[in-house]
Amino acid sequence: MNNPTNERHTYLGIIFALLIGIVCLALVAEVILRLAMPHWQEFYNGRFMRIINVKNHGLVATGIPGFDGYFSQNNGDFRVRLQINDFGYRNTKPIEKSEGSVWFVGDSMAFGWGVEQNEMYSSLVENMLNFPTFNIASPGTDVCGYQALLARTLKHASPRAIIVGLILENDLADYNCLSKKGQTSSEVVPTIFDRNLLNIKGLKVFLIQNSALYNFLAVSLKRVRFINEMLIQFGLVAQGHTYRPANIAAGFDRVINKTATELINLKSQVSTNTPFAVLIAPARFEIKDRDSAFQDVREKMVYALAERNISVIDPIKEFLDAGFKKTHFAHDGHWSALGHKIAAQVTADWLRSQKIDK
């Protein structure tokens, strides 16, 4: 007669052995993939980003000085080389060379997320005008962050003109940048990325940063359509270009006006003789779907800036003519090389109107 206790111990032993085997197999796979896939860390954007504290402006993201490497999207949208200068900006030029250049400030779009350095609209404008430009943009920033980026750069040089990239989908907020005054520490904060392993986002960041096996599986599975769709259904992978409604509700006019006011404050950081314009990045959903809500956002923002005598560069017509698929990545919400070319052309036209060319 079989002893139930012995059977239970046997089953537990088998399960334990299987678990040990799976762990050992994962460790072996991890070691092999680190050797076979030496660029496995390219998918982690924390490799080239940091946060600093700018006196009187608070925390802002910049690149890690001296970084020179590649950044890849695991869904295959792009693999690009990033070169960060000693001041933390995506330039091959040192900060001293920014004197008298056209400065471009903004976040990930102006930074050139997903495109090569020579495809960034700031680089293209330099070639179109034969006039030097300098990019001081940084991913993960907002209008208060733009003020911080400009302030730290003005300590070293002065611009000939300033172009501010404004992303309608995430740059509009009920700002109070003055609340950051008095934050005087210059200490560098180690990371801008969530490492809380108790939530899915934090766990994914940890695995992207530390596991070649995870990155191999992410790259491989996302390329198989039906598996990728299953991952989206389970909430493990975000749907590309998921619609995010424009918050056109009571109080949204306040958000528009507060954003425009902080852009006025940004403009006031430089001489009144310095040409200054805001380059609008139209929402994907207006380009893709002719979304009326985001059209309303854009028109209200343009009006608010014009009312405050801030020049606006609005390339919506050119983006609509070119079409969504050609101007954006397949999954990522940023501009493709063609999107940057369109932005460069309309920006160069505006700068020519300000007599900035050679």
pLDDT digits (tens, 9 = 90+) for 62-75: 999 999 999 998 88
Which range, of 20-24, 75-79, 135-139, 151-155, averages the lowest pLDDT?
20-24
Structure tokens at 102: 């056209």
Return the higher-pLDDT residue of 238 and 175.
Answer: 175
Q: How high is the pLDDT of residue 250? A: 46
Query: What gap in Å lies between CA 113 and CA 167, rounded to an integer?
Result: 13
The CA dihedral of 203, 78, 333, 308, to the nearest 10 degrees, is 110
Q: How high is the pLDDT of residue 238? A: 60
Query: What gap in Å lies between CA 332 and CA 76, rounded to an integer?
Result: 10
pLDDT greater than 90 at residue 240: no
317 in Cβ contact with 274 (< 8 Å): no
pLDDT greater than 60 at residue 139: yes
pTM of the model as a whole:
0.84
pLDDT greater than 50 at residue 329: yes
Structure tokens at 356: 């900035």
pLDDT digits (tens, 9 = 90+) for 98-115: 999 999 999 999 999 999
pLDDT greater than 70 at residue 30: yes
Mean pLDDT calculated for residue range 330-336: 92
Identity of the highest mean pLDDT range in 177-181, 192-196, 338-342:
338-342
pLDDT digits (tens, 9 = 90+) for 275-310: 999 999 999 999 999 999 899 999 999 999 999 999
Please tell me what DSSP assigns to residue 171.
Answer: S
Return the higher-pLDDT residue of 39 and 147.
Answer: 147
Which range, of 14-23, 256-265, 330-339, averages the lowest pLDDT?
14-23
Query: What gap in Å lies between CA 127 and CA 132, rounded to an integer?
Result: 8
Please compute Rg for the chain using Cα positions. 24
Return the higher-pLDDT residue of 125 and 38.
Answer: 125
